[in-house]
Amino acid sequence: MKKFAVSVAAVIAAGALSAAPAAALQSTTFAEDTEDAKSVVSVRVDDSDAEDGVCTGTAIDPHWVITARHCVDAAAKPGGSVRIGQGDQQRVYKVDRHEIAPRGDIALLHTEQAMALDTFAELADEVPTGDVNIFGWSSDGSGGSTKLPSARAEIRGESPLALYEAPTALEVALKDGARIQPGDSGGAIFADGKVAAIMSAGLFEDPDNPTEEEMTSNAAVAVAPVADQVDWIRGVIGANDAMETGEASEPGDAAAEAPSEDSEGIWGTVGIAAGVAVLAAAGVWLLLRRRAA
């Protein structure tokens, strides 16, 4: 049976299901002080979230972090913060705005102050193939809240889990025994040093008979390619820069585009109640590190 999973952030946030104990990327490899790792941040999407974060993100501009849409959908309102750096060199920046991609499990967080980073991650213009690198933050991960775990991985091809009416999704298999767990949502898949995809949900090998280990971690993950929304992302950042410099934005630009009522993804299509039935039938694992409401 083909691997399949569903992101259940909306259901869990509504209290319809309960999350298993949260954790994050389990790996014996750590990021060290590489260029890619410098831009990876821990994310709180709501002011009520735990201080050590519930998701992962990547800084792509002094004021902008890319993460997963289902992380943002779980927030009561725009807020929270991002934590940058490792060890005793960490800093926290307050988030004041969320932006949702027109399609796909992708969102942007805007920080009130510019993040003091030497470098920011670049965005990939093409859908990745082959070998990639993965990073994931959480206090329950193998690095705690001070060391960023990393893992090598391989893109195996397309995944059926294209959330929020995304044109495509990819299946990524981790190497060297590494596994993803809740807290990795929104983490970037780096290909050739660029942010190429965003982690959505863990995949069961057989959704009808998940193993005990798969109930807490997974060796494969469904991801949303960044290239599908790269023009929108750059448009949002560019429009914000224009606003801050006093230049008027033209109506209809990428930053002004919002998802229509017809593009709300699986939750707008089947509703919460039907979604629960789908999840129970398919078998799921969430990468969002959040307790049920």
pLDDT tens digits, 44-94: 888 888 887 889 999 999 999 999 999 999 787 888 999 886 667 778 899
Domain 9-231+261-282 of CATH type 2.40.10.120:
yes
- The amino acid sitting at 157 is G
- Give me the residue spans of the domains in the chain: 9-231+261-282
Rounded to the nearest 5°, which phi and psi values hold at 244?
-70, -25
Per-residue pLDDT of the chain (293 residues; tens, 9 = 90+): 344 443 333 222 222 222 232 234 544 445 555 677 789 998 988 888 888 788 999 999 999 999 999 999 978 788 899 988 666 777 889 999 999 999 999 999 999 999 999 889 999 999 999 999 998 876 555 455 667 878 899 999 999 899 999 999 999 999 988 888 878 889 999 999 999 999 998 998 888 888 888 877 888 999 999 999 999 999 999 988 777 766 554 434 444 444 433 333 333 322 322 332 333 333 334 455 443 22
Tokens of 161: 């889990």
**Percent composition of the chain: helix, strand, coil (DSSP 3-state, to 5):** 20, 30, 50
CA pair distance 213, 121, nearest whole angstrom: 33
CA pair distance 148, 207, nearest whole angstrom: 30
Burial class (CB in 10 A: 0-12, 13-18, 19+), 244: exposed
- Tell me the whole-structure pTM to 2 decimals: 0.77
